[in-house]
Structure 1
């Protein structure tokens, strides 16, 4: 990853599908002087993503692609990313799988946050799977996006103990708090 030169921040897009708490957190982080990135674009695959309100709140350009043919949509997204001079992508609860072609165009420049200690529990329902398997620890991982789902090189992880009283909802809330700390820390690690 390129080093920061002077005060020039790296133009970044955040892809979302949901509530957007990680988006809000990354935007706030990007406003800090020490942050190596600026959030210049928010992309969503649904107009129902509650996180879109943060794009409005922070006056960031947003684009919604609500299409059945995601491969065609990706071509349009790539044109937009080029036009906006986006150099880095953060996936934050983005519920679409990017194609091999798309990932190649941004090779080593897309990261994702996943609510498990990868390589454990790739995909969905990570918290209930950890509880069902009587795991002692759960956590979250920031990793590079590759064509294999949740399999890219780990940037950073945060581990927490699963309490006997935890269910998937309480564990999810605990891990989300950790995600909010981990994502900015991982971005700092990548660019420093």
Structure 2
């Protein structure tokens, strides 16, 4: 992806399902002069997502999409993205999987952050699985999204040591701190900045 010259930032949508802590760190990152992105839209499948409050705080447009019917939901999202001239999608704890067709529409323009060192532990319960397997390290990965779950090309990873006393919860908290740093770095890398 090539960044247009001048001060034009890449118009970005962030998709969330929960607390939105990665959304918050991306919003903060977007405010920096060197940041290539400008977040114009927050999309969620969960009307109770705590992260929606950041839309209010930072005056970013929010859209809640019901995923009962995936096809209809994706059509609504595509319309919303086109209407808002979205050029980049950042998935940040978004708990829905897109169809091949949706991904094809935005090929190379969807990033995701995942709480494991992919290709290990795709999907859910990553911290639990890493601890149960007595791994020495876990971590997080930012990758491009393709049609297979957590399988797209890796952009950046960050290792986090698993401590003897770690629970899935304590490990999750330490990895989340690293996620907040890794996502902006990965975006800079994608745009060669």
Aligned to 1:42: 42
- The Cα offsets for residues 50-102 of structure 1, whole Å up to 9 and x where unpaired, read as 00000110000000012300211100110111110000000000000011010
Q: 2:123·2:150 contact (CA, 8 Å) conserved in 1?
A: yes
Matched residues in 2 for 1:4 and 1:127: separation?
39
Aligned partner of residue 34 in structure 1, secondary structure: coil
Matched residues in 1 for 2:43 and 2:98: separation?
13
Aligned to 1:133: 133
Q: Which runs of 4+ in 1 moved over 2 A?
A: none
Aligned length: 192
State TM-score, norm by structure 2: 0.98
Aligned partner of residue 51 in structure 1, secondary structure: helix
Matched residues in 2 for 1:52 and 1:139: separation?
26
Q: 2:3·2:10 contact (CA, 8 Å) conserved in 1?
A: no
Aligned to 1:173: 173
Q: 1:39-188 residue pairs with structure 2 within 5 A?
A: 39-188=39-188
Matched residues in 1 for 2:181 and 2:76: separation?
32
Aligned partner of residue 135 in structure 1, secondary structure: coil
- The Cα offsets for residues 19-58 of structure 1, whole Å up to 9 and x where unpaired, read as 0000000001001000000000000001010000001100
Aligned partner of residue 169 in structure 1, secondary structure: helix
When the two chains are superposed, the root-mean-square deviation of aligned CA atoms in Å is 0.7
Matched residues in 1 for 2:71 and 2:34: separation?
36
Q: 1:87·1:109 contact (CA, 8 Å) conserved in 2?
A: yes
1:13 matched to 2:13: yes
Q: 1:22-41 residue pairs with structure 2 within 5 A?
A: 22-41=22-41
Matched residues in 1 for 2:43 and 2:21: separation?
15
Q: CA deviation at 1:2?
A: 1.5
Q: 2:11·2:85 contact (CA, 8 Å) conserved in 1?
A: yes
Moved more, 111-120 or 71-80: 71-80
State TM-score, norm by structure 1: 0.99
Gaps spanning 5+ residues in structure 2: where? none
Q: 1:4·1:36 contact (CA, 8 Å) conserved in 2?
A: no
